[in-house]
């Protein structure tokens, strides 16, 4: 899953990016409201974490802009202000939830998971295909009940493929949901991760677990 953080305080943004990447999210960061609104409009995110007090464009302005463009991505607003009228204004502008600074990361994560369950239905806690099982909350992948040791990015890639079982996922779709903006779109990073994932899954022979659809992308049946 891909998250956008719009936060001008460098320490907070860096902490959130590092902590969420450890939770298997791909994370982009915008340092001001103008940049945040732009990224929210050109990329497909699963969730946006939006600070309210931002340079160039305040959080409420970012909210109004993206909602006017019919972007329905869940938005969690962060603010040092906890007054009820301010919360009401932000919720009316399109915010899905509101968290007052300072906050515990565990609460932020819990609120994120609650928001991520709303639009598309509750994600299964364990994703399976054949003898492969991916336990989302525990971050564990097993084959025939034997645990496999995947890198963070391999786990994210496998989860995205399993979430879309039976659907052909193009390179651009995989980049959009598994990697952040820093990846070189013309590199062979997807191919190398698919190759590494296949090796760890023991995915050999003619009937591949991860299938390559020539000229279109990859899928798991």
Between 215 and 36, the more confident residue is 36
Residue 39 CB: number of other CB atoms within 10 A?
18
Query: Does the pLDDT of residue 93 top 70, yes or no?
Result: yes
131-157 tens-digit pLDDT:
899 998 788 999 988 999 999 899 989
Query: Does the pLDDT of residue 43 top 60, yes or no?
Result: yes
In this prediction, residue 121 has a pLDDT band, given cuts at 50, 70 and 90, of very low
**pTM, rounded to two decimals:** 0.67
Report the C-alpha gap between 60 and 77 in whole angstroms: 9
Most confident of 63-77, 85-99, 161-175: 63-77
Q: What is the mean pLDDT of residues 27-31?
A: 94
The three-class DSSP label of residue 33 is helix
* Residue owning tokens 């990859």: 218
Q: Which letter, b or e, does each residue of 154-176 get, where b requires 16 or more Cβ atoms within 10 Å of its Cβ?
A: bbbbbbbbbbbeeeebeeebbbb
Query: Does the pLDDT of residue 64 top 70, yes or no?
Result: yes
8-21 tens-digit pLDDT:
999 999 999 999 99
> Residue 84: what pLDDT?
63
């Amino acid at each position: 899953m891909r998250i956008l953080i719009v936060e001008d305080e460098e320490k907070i943004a860096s902490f959130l990016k590092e902590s969420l990447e450890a939770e298997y999210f791909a994370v982009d960061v915008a340092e001001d409201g103008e940049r945040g609104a732009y990224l929210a409009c050109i990329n497909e995110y699963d969730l946006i974490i939006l600070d309210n007090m931002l340079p160039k464009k305040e959080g409420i302005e970012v909210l109004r802009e993206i909602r006017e463009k019919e972007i329905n991505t869940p938005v969690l607003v962060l603010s040092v202000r906890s007054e009820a009228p301010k919360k009401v204004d932000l919720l009316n502008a399109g915010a899905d939830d509101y968290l007052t600074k300072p906050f515990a990361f565990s609460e932020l994560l819990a609120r994120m998971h609650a928001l991520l369950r709303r639009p598309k239905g509750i994600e299964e806690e364990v994703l399976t295909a054949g003898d492969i099982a991916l336990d989302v909350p525990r971050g564990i992948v097993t084959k025939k009940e034997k645990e496999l040791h995947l890198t963070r990015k391999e786990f994210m890639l496998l989860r995205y493929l399993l979430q879309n079982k039976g659907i052909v996922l193009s390179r651009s779709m995989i980049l959009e949901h598994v990697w952040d903006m820093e990846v070189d779109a013309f590199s062979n990073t997807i191919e190398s991760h698919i190759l590494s994932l296949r090796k760890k899954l023991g995915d050999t022979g003619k009937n591949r677990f991860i299938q390559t659809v020539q000229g279109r992308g990859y899928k798991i049946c």
